Amino acid sequence: MFVQVPRGTKDILPQEIRSWQDIERKSRDLFSVYNYQEIRTPIFENLALFKRSLGDTTEIVKKQMFVFKQGKDQFALRPEVTASIARAYLENNLDFGVKLRKLFYIGPMFRAERPQKGRLRQFHHIGVEAIGSSNPSLDIEVIELADSLLKVLGISNYKFQINSLGCHKDKENFGVLLKKSLSRHKKELCLDCQIRFSKNIFRVLDCKNEKCKKVVDTLDFGSDHLCRSCREQFELVLEGLNNFAINYEIKKQLVRGLDYYSGVVFEVTHPALGSQDALGAGGRYDYLFKELADKEIGAVGFAFGQERLMLASPKEEIPERLQTYIIPLGQEAAKKGLEFSRSIRKAGISCDFDYSDGSLKSKLKEANKLGAEFVVIIGEDEIGKGRAILKYMRQNKQEEVEFNKIVDYIKTLTSKAV
């Protein structure tokens, strides 16, 4: 039997790759304008890193990790990369030198989830992490960057949902408030959530069970968990978002499904995505560095799901663009044609060569399918005359050009086309 691609993974085919590269190029250009530098960490890490960073009781660590053993060591394919970047930051002493490290990444992540539209087992993150400051202005910059990225990609109709978990003490208070307001509904919760209720109350808020979601949506626990300083910081961030006219709503139930968050957290949703409506998410994780290396380092970031960005962005046909195509007719012509293609490519002009056995008509059809702008035809007659036929595929015209002038001639034509 034919062995197919694993469920929840996808081949990205040549006809799709231009859209992928387009999103990646626009992201890279924007990140560089905001002074973010790229970082690449391994695709797998020691399992302990994710357990400690994301939390033992989170859905990701409990149910969605691809774990494998090698000798005595246990590894996991990365389900996200914030933890890896925090590790890399500490391990490579990136806290020395510049005070603020602004990093971005684009790459595959792995989660053993039940696949459905917009939910894959291998998907891609485009994200940033700004490490080295707890200044709320940085939260504003990061959220404004997320907003700019969506705009640059031509995405509209999205909404930011935002909340503040506050500092450690506030988060504890939040847990207490949550427990109080959930205790009345404990019996309505699913079995997993009854356990979460005592083990990690926050995880009840990201349960996918419809009954639990209903209970959570009706909870009213106010914002009383925030201390004065965290409330002021949250207000500053909201004011910044108002100044930039960023479309947001405060969602008190938003706690995010990973334990490392504190302070401001946010999610971006889009109606085109259906039930998996989160385009991206992020927030502050000032305590992660304490957890990993007992260091006080402020940090904030976000990640968008690249597949979901593509679902939400306007469908744009990016046509194939091949500048020249050489059609030789016969062995002598092939020798000449190979010489031409070499010189044309050396000049930085894209060029391909016809190796097929078919008729001239079928060869021209192929040139058309490839989107070729100019076709150079060399047959026996042309060899005799020392001139090639240059066909302008977009204007339906042709002319004869001497062999020793053809490369320069194509150079002039293509530079005009640009």
- Which residues are at the interface with ligand HAM (CB under 6 A)? 80, 82, 111, 113, 118-120, 123, 125, 127, 129, 278-283, 301-305, 307-308
Of 76 and 383, nearer to ligand HAM (C-beta) is: 76
Interstrand relation of 122-131 and 73-77 (parallel, antiparallel or unpaired) = unpaired
Token pair in block for residue 222: 């106010």
Closest contact distance (angstroms) between CB of 10 and ligand HAM is 11
- 8 Å CB contact between 139 and 237: yes
Closest contact distance (angstroms) between CB of 139 and ligand HAM is 11
Closest contact distance (angstroms) between CB of 284 and ligand HAM is 8
Closest contact distance (angstroms) between CB of 83 and ligand HAM is 8
Of 165 and 279, nearer to ligand HAM (C-beta) is: 279
Of 142 and 376, nearer to ligand HAM (C-beta) is: 142
Closest contact distance (angstroms) between CB of 18 and ligand HAM is 21
CA atoms within 13 A on the CB side of 353: 16
CA atoms within 13 A on the CB side of 288: 34
- The position carrying tokens 């207000």 is 235
Closest contact distance (angstroms) between CB of 303 and ligand HAM is 4
Residue nearest to ligand HAM (CB): 305
Of 260 and 374, nearer to ligand HAM (C-beta) is: 260
Closest contact distance (angstroms) between CB of 16 and ligand HAM is 16
Of 61 and 281, nearer to ligand HAM (C-beta) is: 281
Alpha-carbon distance of 12 to 8, in angstroms, equals 13
Of 113 and 366, nearer to ligand HAM (C-beta) is: 113
CA distances from 341 to 122, 353, 354 (A): 39, 7, 11
Interstrand relation of 372-378 and 322-328 (parallel, antiparallel or unpaired) = parallel
Alpha-carbon distance of 55 to 257, in angstroms, equals 9
Of 121 and 196, nearer to ligand HAM (C-beta) is: 121
* Closest alpha carbon to 105 in 27, 171, 35, 200: 27
* Closest alpha carbon to 101 in 110, 112, 92: 92
Q: What phi, psi does 402 have (nearest 5°)?
A: -65, 145
- 8 Å CB contact between 409 and 417: no
